Amino acid sequence: DKANYRHFMAKEIHEQPEVVGHTLARYVDMGTERVMLPARLPFDFNDIQRISITACGTASYAGFVAKYWFERFARVPVELDVASEFRYREAPLRKGDLAIFISQSGETADTLAALRYAKSQGAHTLSVVNVPTSTIARESEIVMPTLAGPEIGVASTKAFTCQLMVLAALAIAAGRGRGELSEADEAKLVHGLVEVPRLIAAALTTEPQIEKLAREIAKSKDVLYLGRGTSYPLALEGALKLKEISYIHAEGYAAGELKHGPIALIDETMPVVVIAPYDRVFEKTVSNMQEVAARGGNIILMTDAKGAEEATVESLVTIIMPDMAATFTPIVYAIPVQLLAYHTAVVMGTDVDQPRNLAKSVTVE
Ligand code: F6R
Rounded to two decimals, the pTM is 0.98
Distance from Cα 69 to the centre of ligand 1, integer Å: 21
362 CB less than 6 Å from ligand 1? yes
Which amino acid residue places its CA nearest to atom 11 of ligand 1?
A: 57
Mapping DSSP onto H, E and C, the string for 31-56 reads CCCEECCCCCCCCCHHHCCCEEEEEC
Query: Ligand 1: does its nearest atom lie under 6 Å from the Cβ of 244?
Result: yes
Closest CA to 112 of 128, 101, 123: 101
Q: Is 191 helix (H, G, I), strand (E, B) or coil?
A: helix
Asked if this assembly's ipTM is beyond 0.90, the reply is yes
Instruction: Find out whether 117 and 84 touch, Cβ atoms under 8 Å.
Output: no
Q: What pLDDT is stored for residue 107 in this prediction? A: 97
Which residue puts its alpha carbon closest to atom 3 of ligand 1?
57
- Give 18-52 pLDDT, tens digit per residue: 999 999 999 999 889 899 997 789 999 999 999 99
Known catalytic residues are 360
The rounded mean pLDDT for the chain is 96
Q: Tell me what pLDDT residue 312 has.
A: 85
Closest-CA residue, ligand 1 atom 16, reads 103
- In the beta sheet, which residues pair with residue 78? 51
> Could you tell which of 12, 104, 133, 356 is best to mutate to test the pocket of ligand 1, judged by most ligand atoms within 8 Å of the CB?
104
**What pLDDT does residue 193 have?**
97
Task: Give me ligand 1 centre to Cα 58, in Å.
Answer: 5
Task: Give CA–CA dist 182/352, Å, rounded.
Answer: 45
pLDDT of 129 reads 98
pLDDT at position 204, please?
Answer: 98
CA dihedral sign, ordered 352, 358, 57, 228: negative
What integer pLDDT is reported at residue 117 of this predicted model?
A: 96
pLDDT in tens, 281-291: 999 999 999 99
Rounded to whole angstroms, how far apart are CA atoms 256 and 263? 11
111 lines ligand 1 (CB under 6 A): yes
**CA 105 to ligand 1: nearest atom:** 15
The Å distance, Cα 226 to ligand 1 centre, comes to 21
103 lines ligand 1 (CB under 6 A): yes
pLDDT given at position 359: 84
For ligand 1, the distance from its centroid to the CA atom of residue 59, given in whole angstroms, is 6
In the chain, which residue ranges form alpha helices assigned H by DSSP?
8-14, 16-27, 57-74, 83-89, 109-120, 135-139, 158-177, 183-204, 207-217, 231-246, 282-294, 305-310, 329-348
- Closest Cα partner for 363 from 104, 148, 181? 104
Question: Ligand 1: which residue has its CA nearest to atom 9?
Answer: 57
Give me the amino acid identity at 40. R
Q: Residue ranges of the chain with pLDDT lower than 70?
A: none
CB of 155 within 6 A of ligand 1: the answer is: yes
How many C-beta atoms lie closer than 10 Å to residue 309's C-beta?
Answer: 10
Length of the chain: 365
